[in-house]
Structures are given as C-alpha cells and as structure tokens.
Chains A and B, each alone.
Chain A
Amino acid sequence: MSILRAEAVSRCFGAFPALRGIDLEVGLGQRLGIVGESGAGKTTLIKLLAGLDQPDSGQVWFDQKIVSGRPERDLGFLRSSLQIVFQDPRSSLNPRMRVGSIITEPLRSKRVRRELNDIDQRQRLGEVLKMVDLPADSADRYPHEFSGGQRQRIAIARALAPKPQVLIADEPVSSLDVSVRAQVINLLADLVEREGLTLLFVSHDLMVVRHLCDSVIVMRAGEIVERGQSAEVFEHPQTDYTKALWAAVPRIRV
C-alpha cells in the first residue's frame, strides 16, 4: 500500500523545468534512495512531496489524502506524519532559539496537535534527545554551542518529535565532516529500523544509498531515468547515466 504518491508532477522555475511529469509511489516502510547530479530536481521533488511547494501540474497524495493545492491550515495530517531533515543544520536551526524549543516546535502547532493524541512536550523532548544520543541538558543551550554532527542530531530529534511515519532526509551528511558522517548515517539507519519509518533519502553518495535503502530512483534533468531495487539498479544499471554515476564513485584499488 502506498503512503506517498506523486502523479505526473511538474514544476517550473521561470523558464527552467525543474521537474517534468514525475510519477512516484512510496510504500509504507519502504526506504527509497533518490540520487542524481546537482540540479536534477531531487530537492524540488521532496519539497513538493512535503507540501512545502506547489506543483504547476500533477498531484501529490499522502495516505490517500490529496496534499497539492490544499491550504496550509488543512495540512495538519501531513505535518504530523511527514518530517524533514535538511542538508545543513547551520541554516536549518534558528540561531536565536534554544534547542528545547527547536525540537518541540512541531508539537506546538495547533494543526499538528489536533492530529496527535496530546503528546507531553517535556516528556517527548527527553525521549527524542535520548534517541539521538544528546545529553539531557542540551535543551537549554543554543545551536551554536554544538558541533556540526550534534546539530544534525538536533535536527533529527526535531523531525522525530511528532512521531512521524515518513522521514525525508535531504543530503543529511553532505555538510558534515567526513569523520562524523558515518555516525549520523548509522544513527539514521538505527532510528529508521527501530521506529519502522518510511525513509526518503536524497544523496550524492551512492555507497550510502546502497547501504541504507532497499530501492532507488535515479533522477536527471527533472525526470526519473531509472528505478528499482537498489541492489538491482547498482549491479545492473540500465541507463548510461546510472552507469556513469556509479563509475564516478571513488574506489580504492587493491
């Protein structure tokens, strides 16, 4: 059963077609990797799926409810069950808010609270901080007091706070030091496993996608050029583009 569905979705920025007629279905519990070069439309696609932007044509559905074209006040069901981790925690965390209010922000919206069965904010804050391995006293501090990896954990904690079904991660480690990437990736993998999340994982890093995702779509110039099980796509790429992407992965020759 599909939880997230896009039908013939197109989006233009001025004269530039960022997405051209994308069809996509994501099943409950699926872990979908989205790969492609910069400018392929990956971020535009997830913004549409998350109801943060409107398609010029086509429709987006979440859990059999239409998302595209709906006013924000009717999107509480989406906001409570689909959350995003952005690329760079330096810009995705408000520098003038304490970590505690950042993380509980999704729990304070009236629209979202209507969908949740009255989560206790304090208690949930403690739970998610523990889930992402941050000390309990982090709540009273500001984002700039944390390292890049820790800040991304804060962003992950915020995304988990409303107990979402779907987690979208938009290149969540590409702004981090190489030394902490593996930790954050492993944390995400654990959380997805433990919480039974549906994951959409956007990345340049094909090795990570192969490790983390059961299926993958390859995007180029606003279109999906290849899709399938990740093992299948990576071992027997059908298009030259996927072959080229795969060939571009740096390997150590033995």
Chain B
Amino acid sequence: MRKAQLNIGLVLVGLVILAGVLSLLWTPYDPIRVTSNRLLPPGWPHLLGTDGMGIDIASRLLIGARYCLIVGVISVGVAAVVGVPLGMLAGMRGGWLDELTMRVADIVYAFPALLLAMLLAAAFGASTGTAMAAIGIATIPAFARIARAGTLQVVASDFVLAAKAAGTSRWGIAARHVFPNIAPLVGVQASVGFAMAILAEAALSYLGLGTPRPTPTWGAMLRDAQDVWYTQPVQALWPGLSIALAVLGFNLLGDGMRDVLDPRLREVK
C-alpha cells in the first residue's frame, strides 16, 4: 500500500519531467503562433483540440510542464538553500538566535505568499523570476522549521556527544552528523514544497502575476479557458487536470519517501 503510493507518485512526477524535457526538443505544433483553427474539439490532428487563438493545446501543455518544473526547482532550491542552514544554525546554537530565527520565520509564514508576489510584481514587473522569488521566500520558513526540528533531535543524541568528546568542531558536527541525518526530512519537505510551488505558480499565472504572455503556463491556460467556459468547458479540463495530477504526484512522492526513509519503520521490517 505504502509502496503503491510512492510508485504512483514516481509515475506522475516522471510524466511531468518527461513532458518538460520533451518540450525542449519537440512539440506537435508551434506553441505560440496564432492560427485560424480556433477552438477545435479534441480529435485529429490536434489531440486535445486548439484554444481561443487557434494554438494546439497539447503543445502548450508540454511547454507548461517545463515552466512548472523550472519554477518548482528554483523556488524550492532557493528555499532549501536558505532555510536549511538557518534551521540548523537555530537548532545547534539555541538561545536568542533560535528564538529570533523562529519568530522571523513565523512572521514570513504568516505573510500571504500571494500578497508577497503582488508586491514583487508591482515593484519588479510580473515575470517567472518574481513568481519564483515570491514562492521561494514564502517557503523558507517551512524548510527552516523542519531543519530545526530535525537538528534538535540529532543534537540530543549520544553520537553527537561522542563527536564532541572526540574533539569534532561545530562545523564537523553539522556536516558529518546533523546534515546527513536530517537530509531525508529535507527531501520529503522538498517534494511537498514542490507540489505547493506548482500550485502557487499556477495561481500567480492565473492572476497574471507570473510568467507573462505569450509563454504558455498551466495557470495562464486556465485563465484563457475561463473566457470560453460556457461554450467549451473541456478547455479548462486539460490545464486543470495537469495541475492536479502534478500536485498529487509530488505529494504522493513526498509521503511515500517519508515512509520509506523513516528509520523507525525500517527497523521494524
């Protein structure tokens, strides 16, 4: 059962990655050029039909997968690179530094990511970059917290005490003992964070705060579909389904990894 969860997650995530990579090499039709074949229903040769500007929907979905991966990787990467060391520092040093870091994290956590994105878009203009920055900044606290919680657990263990008794420096303890033991936690958080980033990116694009036209992103496609909602509801299905499946995939992957990597569960087996 647990294994099935992980496998379904892997398949869905694999599909998104495949689509994204494929879009770099090939798309059935030009994903940007406007044609007169407007609003064709699913069929041949346009498998999923065409949108209001006569562009092949399947081609646009493939490009959308690429952007959702780029946004996910960079925003989660930024959040992890900033959040994990902060959390480890807070957990290892404790005291006022810990208190300060966690309170700042609370404040950032309480600040709506959407509002942050709107502020950034107002200041720097709407682009993929501002969307990634907003999502990344908003996700830092999640990484800092999980890293801190894991660090506190590791620091309390006897092997860290033994490392101190062996004269290992703080850096050595952080690199050799703390990080390898919290890495699985961070990996799980990254997968779940990836799902949240995809959803957030779609929301931002839908609102016109993310990647600008004519680049097709899933969120922007959803917005375009809204114009023909009453006559062609199937237009909203494709980007909606893509978002839902990608988010589901990364969530299942995260959950599945948590179960596989949890040493307590492994010990039982």
Decide yes or no whether A174 CB sits under 8 A from chain B. Answer: no
- Out of B159, B165, B167, name the residue touching A94 (CB < 8 Å): B159
How many angstroms from the CA of A82 to the CA of B165 in the assembled complex? 8
B172 touches A158 (CB 8 A): no
Shortest Cβ distance from A249 into chain B, in angstroms?
Answer: 27
Shortest Cβ distance from A201 into chain B, in angstroms?
Answer: 16
> What residue of chain A has the Cβ atom nearest to residue B184's Cβ?
A96
12 A-B pairs whose Cβ atoms sit less than 8 Å apart in the complex = A72-B169, A79-B166, A82-B165, A83-B166, A84-B162, A91-B159, A92-B161, A93-B162, A94-B180, A97-B180, A106-B166, A109-B169
A109 touches B167 (CB 8 A): yes
Give residues of chain B (145-199) contacting chain A, Cβ–Cβ below 8 Å. 157-159, 161-169, 172, 176-177, 180-181
B181 touches A109 (CB 8 A): no
Decide yes or no whether B263 CB sits under 8 A from chain A. Answer: yes
B165 touches A96 (CB 8 A): no
CB neighbours of A97 from chain B (8 A): 176-177, 180
How many angstroms from the CA of A112 to the CA of B181 in the assembled complex? 25
A109 touches B168 (CB 8 A): yes
Shortest Cβ distance from B77 into chain A, in angstroms?
Answer: 23
B176 touches A94 (CB 8 A): yes
Give residues of chain A (47-93) contacting chain B, Cβ–Cβ below 8 Å. 47, 50, 52, 72, 75-76, 79-80, 82-84, 86-88, 91-93
CB neighbours of B180 from chain A (8 A): 94, 96-97
* New contact pairs (10) apart from A83-B165, A109-B168, CB-CB < 8 Å: A52-B164, A52-B165, A79-B166, A84-B162, A84-B165, A94-B159, A97-B180, A105-B168, A112-B166, A158-B162
B163 touches A105 (CB 8 A): yes
A109 touches B159 (CB 8 A): no
Shortest Cβ distance from A132 into chain B, in angstroms?
Answer: 16
Interface residues on A, range: 20 to 34
Q: Is the interface of B mostly helix, strand, loop or mixed?
A: helix
Give residues of chain B (175-232) contacting chain A, Cβ–Cβ below 8 Å. 176-177, 180-181
Interface residues on B, range: 10 to 19
A91-B157, A94-B181, A109-B172 given; A75·B167 CB < 8 A? yes
Shortest Cβ distance from B187 into chain A, in angstroms?
Answer: 13
Residue positions of A touching B, CB distance < 8 A: 47, 50, 52, 72, 75-76, 79-80, 82-84, 86-88, 91-97, 101, 105-106, 108-112, 155, 158, 162
A86 touches B161 (CB 8 A): yes
B181 touches A95 (CB 8 A): yes
Shortest Cβ distance from A1 into chain B, in angstroms?
Answer: 24
A94-B181, A97-B176, A109-B172 given; A86·B162 CB < 8 A? yes
A52-B161, A84-B162, A86-B162 given; A94·B169 CB < 8 A? no
> What residue of chain A has the Cβ atom nearest to residue B164's Cβ?
A52
Residue in B159, B163, B168, B177 with the greatest tally of chain A CB atoms within 10 Å: B159
Residue in B158, B163, B169, B180 with the greatest tally of chain A CB atoms within 10 Å: B158
CB neighbours of B172 from chain A (8 A): 108-109
A86 touches B158 (CB 8 A): yes
CB neighbours of B168 from chain A (8 A): 105, 108-109
Shortest Cβ distance from A68 into chain B, in angstroms?
Answer: 15
In order of increasing CB-CB distance, the 8 nearest A-B pairs are A79-B167, A109-B167, A106-B166, A92-B158, A112-B167, A96-B180, A94-B159, A91-B158
> What residue of chain B has the Cβ atom nearest to residue A92's Cβ?
B158
How many angstroms from the CA of A162 to the CA of B165 in the assembled complex? 11
- Out of B158, B161, B166, name the residue touching A105 (CB < 8 Å): B166
A96 touches B166 (CB 8 A): no
A97-B176, A109-B172 given; A92·B162 CB < 8 A? yes
How many angstroms from the CA of A84 to the CA of B158 in the assembled complex? 11
Shortest Cβ distance from B176 into chain A, in angstroms?
Answer: 7
Residue in B164, B167, B176, B181 with the greatest tally of chain A CB atoms within 10 Å: B167
Shortest Cβ distance from A99 into chain B, in angstroms?
Answer: 13
How many angstroms from the CA of A75 to the CA of B162 in the assembled complex? 15
How many angstroms from the CA of A109 to the CA of B175 in the assembled complex? 13
CB neighbours of A112 from chain B (8 A): 166-167
A95 touches B162 (CB 8 A): no
How many angstroms from the CA of A92 to the CA of B159 in the assembled complex? 4
Shortest Cβ distance from A207 into chain B, in angstroms?
Answer: 26
How many angstroms from the CA of A110 to the CA of B157 in the assembled complex? 23
